[in-house]
Structure 1
C-alpha cells in the first residue's frame, strides 16, 4: 500500500511527502545516510541491497534501516508532537490555500472553500485514526506480550523452589556419593595393602623382617615422632598362631637411649578357638650381620604362661613381650657397622616348636635363609645328630680311672 492520498496534500511540508509515490507518507522509513523518508511499501518495492534516495541520490544499505522500533516510535512524545503540528498547520490554512477542485453540489453548483477545508480535515482525521489504530494494535500486542511474560514469570517463580530443592537434593546426593567413594577408596587402599602383605607372609613360624630407611626411623624414634614400628604379621602354620614383632629402635622403658628393645606380639586369628593357649613356645630373635663375618646378634626368651601377653587374644593384639635390652645402641650407631648396610637392617623372628638346644642356635641362624625351610630343618637335624654322635664318641674315648 502506497502513501495516503489527499486533495490538499500539496499544502504539506515536503518532508511529509514520499518522494517515490508523491503521496503523504504512510509508515515512513528514514534513510540513515541523508535523513529523507519514504513509505515502507515504496521502500520494499525494490529489493536492492543498496537503496538510493530519489531526492539526493545518496545510498543507504538496507541493513542500516531499522524498522523493529517503529511501533515504539509511535508511542514517543516526538511522534505525538509531530501529529499535533500537522493538525495545527491544517487548522491555520485559509481559504486561499485550500484545494478548490471539489465536486459540484446539486443545489448551489459552485465551489465551497469551507467544505473543501472540512473534507481535508476529515482526510487528516482518517490519517490520525489510522495512527490511533496502529497505536491501539501495538498497545494490545504489548499487553498480550506482557501478560504472557507475567504468566511465564509466575511459572518460573513457582518452579524456582522446586529447582532449588532439586539442586539441594543433588548436592546432598553428590556429597553422599563422594563420601561413599572416599570409603571405597580407603577400602581399596586397605585391600591393596593386605594383598601386598600377603606376598611376604610366612606360614612356617619364621619371619625375616627387612627394615628400610633405618636412619629416618631412628630419628623419628629419638624425637618420639614414632617410638616403635611393627613387622608384618606371620603365622606358625596356615592354620596356626598369628604373630608379629614390635621394635623400639631407641629403646623402651629402662632401656631407652641405651638398647634396642625387641618384642613378640600375639595377634587374634580366625583359628584361635582350636589352638592351645597359653602360648608357651620359645621365641628366637636374630639381628643379621650382613658381612661375610656373620656375627649375628642372637637372643631368645621363653613365654611367661601366666602373662596376659600369651593368653588367647581378645583384641586385635596382645601386649607385646620380649627382650627390652636386645642390642646395645652403640653397636648399630657406629659408622660402617655390619648390621646396617645401605640404610637397611634385617631381623629374623623364629618360633622354636622343636625345643632346639641353645648351642644349635648359631648354626641354625647361620644357614642360608634362601633355602627352603624343610631343607634348613633337615640340616639342623643332621647337625644335631652329628653333635650327639660326636659326644658319644668322646665319651667312649675317655679311659677308665
Structure 2
C-alpha cells in the first residue's frame, strides 16, 4: 500500500549534486579523508585516542612493528583504536572516477566501492599471455619489464628514468671493454637513426672514446626528448578525458530531462550498498532528477531499507524544485508506477501503480531543492526474494519509474 514518507531525509538537490560531482581519476582525497600511512582514501576508517584517522588494516599493521602513533609518536595500543562510522558515511557520499578511465570507463562511484568495482569493470586491464605483453623500450640494454597495455608502459618509462640511465651506462662500460665496441655501437646507432658513425676501417683508435661519448650523449638527449613528448601526450589525454566526461554528463542530463516521465535507475553495487544500509539504517540512496516532460515536474527516486523491517526495500518518490515551478499546477497530481525489472523473465517483474494524494505534503510545491517528504512504498519487496529470484544481475538492480501527470 502506498504511503507518505513521515521522516525527513535532510538531503537537498545541492547535496546530491555534490555527491555526483566529477572528480579526477586517481585524484588525491581531502586531507581529512586521507590515511597518513598509505596516503590513499581511508578504508574502514578508525579513530585513535590521540585524534588521528587511519585505515584499519594500515594502523593495525603499523602497530605490529611499532607501539606509537605514526603522526605524533604518542604511545598507542589496539585498545585505543575505535571505528569512525561518521567518516565512513562522509566518504561513502564522495564520488570519484574509476581508475580505468584511461581505458574508457566513465563510471563514478564512492571511493569505498572502487575495489569491488575493479573486479568487475569491463575496462580492466586484459590479462595477456607472457609472449604477447609489451616490452620496455630499453629491453636491449637489460630492462626485462613487460606490460599489459600502453598506459602501463608509459608510466614505467616516466617512473624509471634513473634505472634506464644506469642500464645505458652499464651498456657503455661493456662496450668500451669489448674489442668489438665500434661495430656494436655502429649497429645500435644505425637502428636508432640518430648517429652516423665513421667507416670501420677509417676510425683512428685515438677518437674511439670521443665517438662513444657522442653516442652516449645522443642517448641521453633522446631520453629527455621522449620524456617531454610523453608528458605532452599525458596532458593531451587528460584534457580529452575531461572533455569526454563533460560531454557525457551533459548528454546524461539531457537524457533525464527528455525521458518524458519514464525513468530507468541502474542501482549498481547492490550487495555492498545493502550491507552498508544494514549497518547504518539512516543511509539512503537517491537517483538523479528526471522530468515528466520538457518543462514539467521534476522527480527523483529514493531507495533505503524499511524502517519497520530491514528485510524489505523501501522505494519512494520525491518532488524536486525547478526554475519553472511557477508555471506548473500544484499540488502535483497524477499516476506513479514503480517497477523492479527482472533481467531475464519479464513476467517476474514487480510493478505497483499508485495515484497521488494532493492533501499530502509530499506533492506540494517544494520550497527546498528536494521535498523532504516522499511518497511510495515502505515495504516494496523482500530482499531475500529479489536475490533468490535472480533480480540482481551483475550486482545491479534495475528500477523503472513512470510518472504521468493528470
TM-score class, shorter = 0.3 to 0.5
Rg larger in structure: 1
Question: Relative contact order: is structure 1 or structure 2 higher (C-alpha 8 Å, sep ≥ 6)?
Answer: 2
